């Protein structure tokens, strides 16, 4: 594969897409393959729909069709990553290579990325990962969306397996990095908590090997220890609530969102649910300060940010107050969400929790820990969804605890048993789809 030739063709196109249904004209279509799909079958259709060129596997029907707009390569995913890396390396800002901030962590990646992006955008043109497109396809696509106006890039990276981050940093080549936290998630893939730290720490490994710098939360002993193992303090940019000297204020019925009081008495009023987001805000403000964004501008950007996609959302419906954190769940984020529910000042509270996935041999023990925590909170009632919570409930019979096999079953129960006047935490792993109960609340 001639990467320079591929890059010259990419520069002729309006954008890159891997979805043949997402063609409006002038795109570079890259035909990817997966367990249940083969994009090579749609390469010619993408051209008919208006794509300028299509990258397909050599030997595929499209590649041997004779159409000069088909670009044959040995492996389309590797071509996508190579193209993204080349674009990243050849994008200049004022004659210097574009600065890329790489971000990963167990919890809070997407929210922190959004906050950092909004803070930096008060001064710079920022290209950032869209949504949570943070895997080996999403990261290259994010990099390829960088254009001539981009002054900074913020790239989110996710990991389910031990070497995922090492592969992603080789593509995005970050100059700065930030790990939000390390917790007990994807244990099935990582094997243990130490495996999680090693996997996430590959971002630090890359920065240390290439002269990069890391924003490190000095209030987090795991992160500070991981950083200390890899490089001297000169490459660490510290942040944290302790450095910001910010205090989390208690929520109230009048203002149930997260608020922070700064040393001068100023109160940062956010639209985020959950005190655990305080460190994410500290990260965003600190990154902004490092890149010359005045604190006042950073605070304004944070206050204007409204979360979406069931991440740290709080919504007042006609009948209840909902803490919508249903996008994903693991033991660390579940414990933090329950701790936050305890702190919320409300006359009546409940928790609707779905199974946490990908915990391997630790799954039952971790679900039992969550169950013990939630049953100790004195909630009005608890609804649990999924097989893992069913097993954790074995031998426990309480009138205030209800179990359902699926979120659809819980939604049907809520139709027959309407709930009103409650502040309700709704959380579970993506596969449980706890958001299906929201319309009934």
Q: In the chain, where does the domain assigned CATH 3.40.1190.10 lie?
A: 91-304
Q: Cite the residue boundaries of each domain of the chain with CATH code 3.90.190.20.
A: 313-440
Which CATH superfamily groups domain 3-77?
Answer: MurE/MurF, N-terminal domain (3.40.1390.10)
pLDDT tens, position by position, for the chain (441 residues)? 699 999 999 999 999 999 999 999 999 999 999 888 899 999 999 999 999 999 999 989 999 998 999 999 999 999 999 999 999 999 999 999 999 999 999 888 999 999 999 999 999 999 999 877 899 999 999 999 999 999 999 999 998 888 999 999 999 999 999 999 987 766 667 778 788 888 899 999 999 999 999 999 999 999 999 999 988 777 899 999 999 999 999 877 677 789 999 998 889 999 998 888 999 999 999 999 999 999 999 999 999 999 876 677 888 889 998 988 877 788 888 888 898 888 888 889 999 999 998 888 889 999 999 999 999 999 999 999 999 999 999 988 899 999 999 999 999 999 999 999 999 999 998 889 999 999 999
- CA gap 102, 85 in Å, rounded: 14
Label residue 395 exposed, middle or buried (CB < 10 Å: 0-12, 13-18, 19+). exposed
CA separation, residue 213 to residues 157, 205, 357, 400 (Å): 17, 11, 33, 50
Nearest 5°: CA angle at 148, between 87 and 235?
Answer: 65
DSSP 353-396: EEPPPS-GGGHHHHHHHHHHHHHTS--SEEEEESHHHHHHTTT-
C-alpha to C-alpha distance for 332 and 240, rounded to whole angstroms:
19
Selection from 321, 308, 304, 392 nearest residue 355 by Cα = 392
Paired with 325 in beta bridges are: 427
Fold of the CATH domain 313-440: 3.90.190
Between CA 185 and CA 191 the distance in angstroms is 10
DSSP 205-261: HHHHHTT-EEEEETT-HHHHHHHHTTS-GGGEEEE-HHHHT-EEEPP-SS--S-EEE
428 with 386: CB under 8 angstroms? Answer: yes
| Residue 176 per-residue DSSP state | E
Stretch(es) of the chain classified as CATH 3.40.1390.10: 3-77
How many angstroms separate the CA atoms of 417 and 32, rounded?
46
Query: Which fold would CATH assign to domain 91-304?
Result: 3.40.1190
Decide if 273 contacts 258 (C-beta within 8 A): yes
């Amino acid at each position: 594969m001639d990467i320079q030739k591929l890059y010259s063709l990419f520069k002729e196109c309006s954008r890159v897409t891997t979805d043949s249904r997402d063609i409006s004209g002038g795109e570079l279509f890259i035909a990817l393959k997966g367990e249940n799909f083969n994009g090579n079958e749609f390469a010619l259709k993408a051209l008919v729909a208006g794509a300028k060129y299509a990258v397909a596997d050599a030997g595929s029907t499209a590649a041997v069709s004779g159409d000069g707009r088909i670009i044959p390569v040995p492996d389309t995913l590797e071509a996508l990553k190579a193209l993204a890396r080349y674009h990243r390396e050849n994008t200049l800002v004022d004659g210097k290579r574009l600065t890329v901030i790489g971000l990963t962590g167990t919890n809070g990646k997407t929210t922190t990325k959004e906050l950092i992006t909004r803070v930096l955008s008060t001064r710079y043109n920022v290209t950032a990962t869209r949504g949570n497109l943070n895997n080996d396809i999403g990261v290259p696509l994010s990099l390829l969306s960088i254009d001539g106006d981009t002054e900074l890039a913020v790239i989110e990276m996710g990991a389910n397996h031990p070497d995922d981050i090492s592969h992603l940093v080789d593509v995005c080549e970050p100059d700065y990095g930030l790990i939000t936290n390390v917790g007990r998630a994807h244990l099935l893939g990582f094997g243990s908590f130490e495996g999680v730290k090693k996997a996430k720490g590959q971002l630090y490994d890359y920065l240390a090997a290439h002269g990069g710098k890391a924003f490190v939360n000095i209030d987090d002993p795991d992160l500070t220890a991981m950083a200390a193992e890899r490089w001297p303090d000169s490459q660490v940019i510290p942040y944290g609530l302790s450095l910001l000297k910010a205090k989390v204020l208690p929520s109230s019925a009048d203002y149930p969102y997260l608020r922070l009081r700064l040393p001068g008495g100023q109160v940062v009023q956010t639209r985020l649910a959950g005190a655990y987001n305080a460190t994410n805000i500290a990260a965003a403000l600190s990154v902004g300060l490092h890149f010359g964004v005045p604190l006042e501008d950073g605070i304004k950007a944070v206050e204007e940010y409204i979360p979406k996609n069931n991440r740290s959302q709080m919504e007042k419906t006609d009948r209840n107050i909902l803490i919508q954190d249903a996008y994903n769940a693991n033991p660390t984020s579940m414990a933090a969400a329950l701790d936050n529910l305890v702190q919320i000042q409300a006359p009546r509270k409940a928790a609707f929790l779905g199974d946490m996935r990908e915990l391997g041999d630790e799954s039952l023990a971790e679900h039992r820990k969550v169950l013990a925590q939630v049953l100790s909170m004195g909630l009005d009632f608890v609804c649990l969804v999924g097989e893992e919570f069913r097993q954790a409930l074995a031998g426990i019979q309480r009138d205030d605890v209800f179990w359902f096999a699926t979120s659809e079953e819980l939604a049907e129960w809520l139709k027959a048993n309407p709930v009103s006047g409650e502040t309700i935490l709704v959380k579970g792993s993506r596969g449980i789809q706890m958001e299906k109960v929201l319309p009934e609340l």
